[in-house]
Amino acid sequence: MSVTFTTRGALQKSVLRQANERLILNAVRNNPTISRSDLSRITGLSPSSISFIVNRLVRRGVLTEEKLEKYSQVGRRPTALHLATDSMLAIALEIKAGGTRLALADLSGRFLRQKLIPWNSNPQVLAQRAHAAIRSMLDQAGSSRVLGVGVGLPGSIERFGGRVIAAENLNWFNVDFGTPLRGRLQLPFYFENNARLSALAEKWFAEPGSKPLQDFIFVATAGGLGTGVFTGGHLLEGATAVGGECGHIILHPDGLQCTCGNRGCWEQYASDKALCRLYAGYAGLPDATRCDAPEILDLARQGDEAATRALGEVADALALGFANLLMVFNPEAIIVGDFAADAWDLIEARIWAVLKGRAPRYTLAPVRIVPTTHAPDSALLGGASVVFSHFFTRFDNGGDPVRPGEVLLMQGAR
């Protein structure tokens, strides 16, 4: 019995130590120039506990201290604590038919290395290619600093196992992507939908000091249309963790055939693919797959009639979808990504004109609609965010997986 008790006691102590360390790291992350006394006030830990833990983190190179120059009061000159941004790293993988990307990111969201992985429509082959690239990146980075791998793809995927439930635009259904990707690597892997990762990146890599977003929607418009929805500060999951996927809400019941099997989904009218289809039609081109959104935007900027007309129709369709989102989620912000972000100066006025005619004023009043500042790296940054968010929040929670973006509060912990 005593052995069990000792083991349990030691375990609890290490869990508590980890919890307090992460509590401090979280406070420093959220307050870029925090002092030791501020830390004590914010965390509820005693000054001696703060001193002990901070000294340990400084010795490990995770925190750095900076003497503040301007200080008018009498007494010891205070020091500001900072996270050493390269002390912890994350690997992010964004799977896209157009260009699968791998990146090594630091805590500030800076990419230290990047690699393009040649596309293969066979998920096993692509997973093996990505696995080799991850191993090579780990060798170059020094694997001890890498906390994990965040993987995004356009579709629904099991968050920890990496089984693709459905990725319509890749034509992947019920395939095990996680096992060949992991191989024998011992790192944690987290899998998530690309648009949801992009939403997480908006929350995790927000401007320091800015008001944290609680209720917002990220609208990804590359290779289809996907959304990530935050409500009350949490990523919306639903009963089986595939909630908040608004690309397949039905805009026209008898509309265009969608890759999901339904008809008239929003993404058929408001995505980059819709833009290409409409432009090809108006320009009299035989094959929409040869067009791409950046080219059409360039043409629209030059006043090309077919491109302008196609972009206008896509803007109308985007706005109709936004009107639905406003009614359901009452967001404070809708953040648009990909081609819609690039085209924002061309489509913003038209989108607001439609919204003013379609959405009640009380849903329009609180909402900002803005292009992301992360384009074209939203999903990759999201891959890094999911790794960091698990590291900073994964402790003493009874073993339940922490939801991405969840920031744990442990006031009064000792």
Given the rule CB under 5 A, which residues bind Zn ion?
248, 258, 260, 262, 265
The secondary structure of residue 395, as a DSSP letter, is S
**161 or 264: CB nearest Zn ion:** 264
- Give the C-alpha separation, 41 to 25, whole Å: 14
Looking at beta carbons only, is 127 or 265 nearer to Zn ion? 265
Question: Quick one: which of 183, 166, 303 has its CA closest to 224?
Answer: 166
**Extended strands (E) in 12-52:** none
Q: How far is the CB of 113 from Zn ion (least distance, A)?
A: 36
Name which of 260 and 346 has its Cβ closer to Zn ion.
260
- Tell me how far the alpha carbon of residue 354 is from its chain's centroid: 29
- Is residue 156 within 8 A of residue 167, CB to CB? The reply is yes
**How far apart, in whole angstroms, are the C-alpha atoms of residue 334 and residue 380?**
19
Would you give the distance in Å from CA 395 to the centre of its chain?
21
**Could you give the CA distance from residue 221 to residue 274 in angstroms, rounded to a whole number?**
10
Give whichever of 151 and 265 is closer to Zn ion, judged by the CB atom: 265
Shortest distance in whole angstroms from residue 262 CB to Zn ion: 5
Closer CB to Zn ion, 145 or 252, in the complex = 252
Rounded-to-integer distance, Cα 369 and Cα 352, Å: 9
DSSP H helical ranges for 184-304 = 194-204, 267-270, 272-283, 293-301
Least distance in Å: CB of 248 to Zn ion? Answer: 4
Q: What is the DSSP letter of 104?
A: E
CB of 260 to Zn ion, least distance (A): 3
Distance separating alpha carbons of residues 218 and 223, to the nearest angstrom: 15
| 8-state DSSP, 164 | E
Strands (E) across 246-323 are located at none
In angstroms, the CA 242 to CA 104 distance is 27
Q: How far is the CB of 141 from Zn ion (least distance, A)?
A: 39
Q: How far is the CB of 267 from Zn ion (least distance, A)?
A: 6
CB of 309 to Zn ion, least distance (A): 24
- Taking the complex as a whole, how short is the minimal distance between the CB of residue 227 and Zn ion, in angstroms? 13
Measured CA to CA, the distance from residue 385 to residue 402 in angstroms comes to 13
40 or 221: CB nearest Zn ion: 221
Compute the least distance from the CB of residue 154 to Zn ion, in Å: 12
H or E segment at 144? none
Alpha-carbon distance of 271 to 383, in angstroms, equals: 22
Given the complex with Zn ion, which of 78 and 264 has the nearer CB atom?
A: 264
Closest CB to Zn ion among residues 57, 317: 317
The DSSP code for 98 is S
The smaller minimum CB distance to Zn ion, of residues 89 and 258, is found at 258
Q: Identify the residue whose tokens are 């090579």.
A: 136
